[in-house]
Structure 1
């Protein structure tokens, strides 16, 4: 009796692959399929569309998610850590952040079968449109995720791009995707993985490179770095240090790439100084500009917003703390319900037309054209 006659043949395969492409405009719901423990404080959440569909994105791009936590919808941007070469799943890899509302909720609550809404993909931080054959990937901490997507894509396609992947972590126990990256390096001589541990602990001994990324380490792991296309992702301080290092070396910064928008990485004092300087420069011009009243229903605050200023910018100047990330209409973090009034909104894909039709706006790129009432 054959396996097909036994009822276990291809006609009753347990694996079903979708034919169409996931359309977030039609259905933005994703379902958690699995949860993987990567390190002691990092988990990967494997997602698939509620309706059958395959994901299309460029390696390095991100998604914006809407999480319902404690009766409130919280928006967050997370890079896709999986590769577009495996389009039937989308992987979200998250590090638990002390006090982080979303990261802790995901680690403690998200389970297979649970649902989350998402919009995307978005972002220009990708190797997909580059033509270079020699790359240097530099990542710190959870900044490894977009570069992992790129590395997985090269590996799946069997392409022989010369890649040096140097990842910095606190200890050996904090190196995310370590085993997979080491396996990729073993089978592909064109791919080199160089983990760097800042320190050690009794439970995480380390014989590899130690300390923080420096010019000496860079010269050791990639002596030809001046010839490479460089992709960098990590904490703001890490990326600033890498930029300074490369500029000091005379690197052609046209071949340097990091995230294309700022996630509010500047210290609060510098943000306040910049806002104050901007307000001073714009003061005279705004004196002749129409000003509208914007009311926030939940906080019961009312502010005056010039027609030339975004609602988010004016709110920050007034001392209000509103959720925001990119400030360019990309991520959707500041998405809010407009109860009444009109705005001029110039977004970059962070909101869908059906949401606009339902009265939602992105505060970071919306300028008032009348008095407003915002549900915040």
Structure 2
């Protein structure tokens, strides 16, 4: 999502926000390693746009961890919020959710966050490209657009094998009802099924076969390698890049690769992290998070783009220039809170980090 086209989310557009414990009311098996968790808020369900995500906080083995998960349900459907989670080998959060979290358990959530939504980029025609777990935000959009008789949706999903097709039965239902044109591409057969549809990986031929290709708003979500390949294919197909919107599904991986400007400014300030007892040097043109990473510190962070709110901290002294993308609310800013990932110092600062 590094190159995702983002428009700032104003307080006026965020009419409802969660900051509370959600209760799990059911767990649904989706594939052999994917589950959907139905989560009920204590208050009425928040308003959200299809494609947005929640930031979840949980204590696992004595450590507080945060992860971002797309709301896979549709805002047009009443009931609990749904997140769909793939088990990641060695992943502490996904394995905990799959093995330990169930009906009656609670989990803290904030949000919704994010600009990756057809609501933010309206069009009569859409092309959704996804791979693996990246299907969740575009599935939320597809579920929503099924209720729009004027929406023209083409959905191309890539999976490793037939056994790995997330929401397979529902995709078949959507296609059979004519609510969207659905194509699933599998890289290989599964042990129990020979795939009868397109095989291999997403290619230029798949794109060029899409009717009215250049008239569509394109939304792409999946692992980093898939995103890079899809971006190149869209460029080869001559798609207007202003109509291409991306969401890198693995926000944690994206946040780990915090990138700064090539040359750091000669203007430097001191950033004191009160709780950790450390002080770091920070250039005027780098964020507090980048400076902390450069000094070998690892404060909590995920999106690195001012969207998820994971790196929120309190500014105790000094001033910063914060250019966020909706990951913090005005009332939190009024209370002195900032996001480290999008805040640049304008002088020496002290934060509660």
> What is the TM-score of this pair, normalised by structure 1?
0.79
CA contact (8 A) 1:140 1:238 kept: yes
1:256 corresponds in structure 2 to: 244
CA contact (8 A) 1:22 1:54 kept: no
1:205 corresponds in structure 2 to: 194
Query: Is 2:164 the counterpart of 1:174?
Result: yes
User: Which residue, out of 256, 267, 270, partners 1:292?
Assistant: 270
1:40 corresponds in structure 2 to: 32
Quote the Cα distance in structure 2 between the aligned partners of 1:40 and 1:297: 43
Root mean square deviation of aligned Cα: 3.0
2:7 corresponds in structure 1 to: none
Q: Does the residue aligned with 1:182 lie in a helix, a strand or coil?
A: helix
Q: Which runs of 5+ in 2 are unaligned?
A: 1-13
CA change 1:255–1:358 in 2 (3 A) is closer
Larger fraction in helix: 1
User: Which residue, out of 46, 50, 56, partners 2:42?
Assistant: 50
Quote the Cα distance in structure 2 between the aligned partners of 1:236 and 1:261: 8
CA change 1:342–1:226 in 2 (3 A) is same
CA change 1:30–1:22 in 2 (3 A) is farther
Structure number with higher relative contact order (C-alpha < 8 Å, ≥ 6 residues apart): 2
1:101 corresponds in structure 2 to: 92
Cα-to-partner distance string for 1:17-49 (whole Å, 9 max, x where unaligned): xxxx99546x52211111111111111111111
Q: Does the residue aligned with 1:81 lie in a helix, a strand or coil?
A: coil
Q: Which runs of 5+ in 1 are unaligned?
A: 1-20
1:6 corresponds in structure 2 to: none
CA contact (8 A) 2:289 2:340 kept: yes
Paired residues, number: 338
Aligned-pair distance for 1:160? 4.2
Quote the Cα distance in structure 2 between the aligned partners of 1:134 and 1:356: 38
Quote the Cα distance in structure 2 between the aligned partners of 1:262 and 1:116: 20
Aligned-pair distance for 1:297? 4.2
Q: Does the residue aligned with 2:123 lie in a helix, a strand or coil?
A: coil
1:344 corresponds in structure 2 to: 320
Q: Which moved more, 1:230-239 or 1:329-338?
A: 329-338
CA change 1:149–1:262 in 2 (3 A) is closer
Quote the Cα distance in structure 2 between the aligned partners of 1:132 and 1:304: 46
Q: Which has the larger radius of gyration?
A: 1
> What is the TM-score of this pair, normalised by structure 2?
0.84
